[in-house]
Structure 1
């Protein structure tokens, strides 16, 4: 994102105010999606303040679970040092696909033709006279 594209728009990256606010803060790491994480200062409870600068659109579902835990003070150190290595069977985190062509659509959804499997006959409707 160029400086001319997003000086005042928050939906496609950090604004110029955010970049000025990060002066003096420490960059602590970057995740696989290119998001950069910062730490510095203290909040009102005395905890260190933590930020994420997204690479691309500002979508919270693009934060991996490990870094989400760090942002919310569930772990003290950055995930690379605080957590054990991932098991080989663990799938990578996927961002929220709602509103995209990759979104989940069940068999009865209109986008899939609106046809669903017929009932199997094990359902009996309730009637007040029964």
Structure 2
């Protein structure tokens, strides 16, 4: 089923047109999530184009910070060649959890089953006549 759906639904991964467009481009590397990074061609300003083919759903928050820097031309070479090894205290990056069950819910959020704190009396409603 996914083979038939893939050419038409870009949100499920790269479409046939995207893979077709990779002809003649250079595969730069792959991150720990399985996303593959490519470079090739020039934009109108003469800057090399760079892009990512996601392993799974297309979600920009799934790009690790070091590869984000490469995609946005903050570093020239692939991150594994120019950046130091991760420190022992660094946490692994997480995808954006908004819209999922793991999303942050403050204590007063209705979704968390909480109650809003009562007003302290310092609120004064605006009226157009005032």
Fold shared, TM-score > 0.5 on shorter chain: yes
Q: Which runs of 5+ in 1 are unaligned?
A: none
Q: Which residue of 2 aligns with 1:48?
A: 48
Structure 2 Cα separation of the partners of residues 33 and 126 of structure 1: 48
**TM-score relative to the length of structure 2:** 0.87
TM superposition shift of 1:24: 1.0
TM-align CA RMSD: 2.1
Please give the residue correspondences for 1:6-21 in structure 2 after superposition, counting only pairs within 5 Å.
6-21=6-21
Partner SS, residue 41 of structure 2: strand
Q: Which residue of 1 aligns with 2:103?
A: 103
Structure 2 Cα separation of the partners of residues 42 and 17 of structure 1: 19
Partner SS, residue 67 of structure 1: helix
Q: Which runs of 5+ in 2 are unaligned?
A: 125-130
Structure 2 Cα separation of the partners of residues 72 and 45 of structure 1: 14
C-alpha deviations, 1:4-45, integer Å up to 9, x for none? 230121110011110110011111111111100001111111
Structure 1 Cα separation of the partners of residues 84 and 60 of structure 2: 24
**TM-score relative to the length of structure 1:** 0.87
Q: Which residue of 2 aligns with 1:81?
A: 81
Structure 2 Cα separation of the partners of residues 3 and 48 of structure 1: 31
Structure 2 Cα separation of the partners of residues 84 and 112 of structure 1: 40
